[in-house]
Structure formats: C-alpha cells, structure tokens
A = this chain, B = another copy of it.
Amino acid sequence: MWLVGARGSVGTTAALGLAALAEGHAPPEGCVTAGPAFDGVPLPGWRDLVLGGHDVSDVSLTKHAEALVDAGMIPAPLLAATAHALDAADAEVRPGYRGPLAPGQSQRDVAERLAADLTAFAARHGLARVVVVDVSSTEPPVDPLPEHTDPRALEAAASEPGRQVLPPSSVAAWAAVLAGAAYAGFTPSAGMGLPALRALAAERGVPVAGQDGKTGQTWLRTALAPAFADRGLRVLSWAGTNLLGGGDGATLADPDAVRSKLATKTRGLRDLTGTDVTPLHIDHVPDLGDVKVAWDHVHARGFLGSRITLQTTWSAHDSMLAAPMVLDLARLLALAHARGEAGVVPALGFFFKDPWGSDVHAAADQARALVTWAATAR
C-alpha cells in the first residue's frame, strides 16, 4: 500500500491503524472488508500489507500521530504499541511532487522518478503488487486541456521540459500506471480522473477506482435520499453545512480548493432527489480539531402537499472514517489486480462521492454491488 500524502492525518491514521489491526491491538471496526459478507474472499490479510508513500512534508508519521494523541483522537497506549510500525512506514516515505518543475525538467521525468520509488519499494519488500491510494490534500479544479482526453497527446505534452500539462495529483496517478500499480483516488483532485490517464491505466492493465471518499455526511445523504424516493416523498430542498478543524479544514478554507469538494458532495444528491436546492457550506472551525460536525436540513413534500422536515447532525473524527476505507480499498484493488481487472472497477463506487464507471449513488445499492463483485472471487 503506497499513500500519496502518507504523512497527513488520513495517512497517519491508516498507518497506525494497520499496525494495530495486524498486531491485534484493535478490532477491525469501521472496515467494510472485515464484515461477514467478505468471509472466504481471497483478500490480503492485515499482516500482508506493507506501507510506504510519497509526501512533501518533513513531519514524520510519529510526530503527526503524537499531535493526534494530544487532540484526543488517538489513545496514547495505541500509539505506544504501534510506534515501531510508524517508524518503519515513515522510513518508506519518499519526497512527493507538488510542483513546480526544476529547470529543464519535464513532468514525465517526475512521473518516472515517482514510479521508480514504487518499483524499488516493491522489490525491496518482495511484494506481489502495489496499490497506490491518493490521500493528499485537495487541489483546486483544473482547466480542461485537449491533452487530458488524448493519451498520446498527453504523453507528448508531459515530455516537454517545463510544461505543466498535469496537476500534481495526476502526475502521481500517472506514476502508478507507469509502475503497473493499482490506484484509488480518495480526494476530489483530478488525479486519475483525467480520461487520458484512465485510458493509459486500461492499456497498462491496472485497475483503478475513484473518486473522493464518501466518508460521512455524503454517505449519510446517499443512505437517506433513496428512502425518501422509495416512499414517494418529494424532496424540495436539502441544505447542509460542515464544521471542521484540522489540516483538512484549513485546506478547505481556501475557496479554490473547496470548489472541487462542494461539486462532488452535491452531485449524487441531485441525482437521487431531483432537487437543485442544495446549499452547502464548509467552515473552518479550528477548535474542533479533526472532528467534523455536519448538519443537514431536508424539506420534503408528502401526501396532499403536507410538510415533512428531517434534520441530521453527524459528528465524527474525519480521519477515523477515511482510514479504514483506505485499507479496504488497498485490499480490494489488490484482489482486482490479482484477478486481472484493468481500468475502472465500478463495483468500488461504494467508497466514493463521485463513483467512476457508475451512476449509482444509493448507499444500499452500492453495498450490494460491492458484495456481489467480491463474492465472485470466492
């Protein structure tokens, strides 16, 4: 498992959690693939996974974990029990790429350098395969270019020294393809979302999945909205607001970055309800730390025009929701890779706000599709 943005909150929590599960310090609660529906499915075990990654930060996993302990998110004894594993994982973190390019350097040069890190990592540990999961902080939306839809044109443009045809997240995605690694895009950043890159992944025979982890509020909405539809209740508006601190909160306080997020957060809801009245806000509230609080107000019309309202308030540590899904994706993409699936794996849409290769957003339908897909591997 190779994490782009390994030293962030999600990466740190995933690393610590993987060690805790492998060594039996915690039950696999929050892990979809630990459920009875996955019994007998040939997924790699917790002990089979080795962790490495790219990051632009110098703050070690252990240092970050200590901050999460101080914030009351991670119990101190759990860090003590897994510190050695965090150090080992941190030793496998290589410098990432967020731009700009060095003089005379091309994005292909960067992608090949990143790919070499993956190959060396696999060789060093004698791994059967590598799964890359992008958990780095959200980028602003990219302006579409012709090269983004044409693999050959993209390869040519990315070979021009100094030309930045790809956002950093897409360079990292391309590196996965070059190294023959499976890939999951857990953020709303472009990453492997560009058609040209997904075509290259299919050519290269690597499975990919995305996009933007459906961890909390959006997951809740896609569990509730279909229920209204099944009852014939007409949703008139679905308004929401999010409060969060932590690094993610700071990133999303940037109006540019937040645009990517808000777009993926409301798309599914509009599909499921048919309403366009879905005002949504994300506020940076530093004192909340990593806790995210999300409030939704649903106004629906029922029989004879009667008024129905539903409010939900969701509160959870965002990284604690994301980390187990990252581990699930690593196991499931390893399975897909082993089974020779190439390109987008639609059955993994369950994990994403903006599912690639599927227009299904309803949480229950996605869960069934995932279980059905996994069952075929028994």
The A12-56 residues at the B interface (CB cut-off 8 A) are 13, 16-17, 20, 26, 28-32, 34-35
- The CA of A229 and the CA of B314, in the complex, are separated in Å by 16
The A259-317 residues at the B interface (CB cut-off 8 A) are 277, 279, 281, 283-288, 293, 295, 297, 299, 301-317
Residue picked from A286, A308, A350, most chain B C-beta under 10 Å: A308
Contact A285 B279 (CB under 8 A): yes
For the complex, count residues of A whose C-beta is within 8 A of B.
Answer: 75
Contact A320 B299 (CB under 8 A): no
Q: Which residues of B contact A143 (CB under 8 A)?
A: none
Contact A13 B297 (CB under 8 A): no
- The CA of A365 and the CA of B362, in the complex, are separated in Å by 12
Residue A321 is within 8 A (CB to CB) of chain B in the complex:
yes
- With A237-B285, A297-B295, A320-B302 already in contact, the answer to whether A232 and B308 are too (CB < 8 A) is no
Contact A30 B364 (CB under 8 A): no
- The CA of A243 and the CA of B286, in the complex, are separated in Å by 24
Q: Which residues of B contact A313 (CB under 8 A)?
A: 309-311, 313
Residue A219 is within 8 A (CB to CB) of chain B in the complex:
yes
Chain B: CB-nearest residue to A30: B303
Contact B30 A233 (CB under 8 A): yes
Contact B232 A227 (CB under 8 A): no
- The CA of A317 and the CA of B300, in the complex, are separated in Å by 12
Residue A94 is within 8 A (CB to CB) of chain B in the complex:
no
Q: Which residues of B contact A315 (CB under 8 A)?
A: 308-310
Closest chain B CB from A315 CB (angstroms)? 5
- The CA of A29 and the CA of B306, in the complex, are separated in Å by 9
Q: What's the number of copies of this chain in the assembled complex?
A: 4
Residue A74 is within 8 A (CB to CB) of chain B in the complex:
yes
Residue A241 is within 8 A (CB to CB) of chain B in the complex:
yes
Chain B: CB-nearest residue to A76: B76
- With A297-B243, A316-B306 already in contact, the answer to whether A283 and B279 are too (CB < 8 A) is yes
Contact B219 A223 (CB under 8 A): no
Closest chain B CB from A99 CB (angstroms)? 31
- The CA of A76 and the CA of B78, in the complex, are separated in Å by 14
Q: Which residues of B contact A219 (CB under 8 A)?
A: 227, 231
Query: CB-defined interface of A321-365 with B at 8 Å, one 1/0 digit per residue?
Result: 101100000000000000000000000001000000000001111
Residue A116 is within 8 A (CB to CB) of chain B in the complex:
no
Contact B287 A299 (CB under 8 A): yes
Closest chain B CB from A305 CB (angstroms)? 7
Q: Which residues of B contact A320 (CB under 8 A)?
A: 302-304, 306
Closest chain B CB from A350 CB (angstroms)? 8
Task: Beyond the given A29-B233, A29-B305, please list 10 additional residue pairs across the A-B interface where CB-CB is below 8 A.
Answer: A30-B302, A72-B72, A74-B304, A75-B305, A227-B364, A227-B367, A243-B279, A277-B286, A288-B299, A310-B314
- What are 11 pairs between A and B in contact, CB < 8 Å? A13-B303, A32-B230, A75-B304, A75-B305, A223-B224, A227-B367, A239-B285, A241-B295, A295-B311, A306-B320, A311-B311
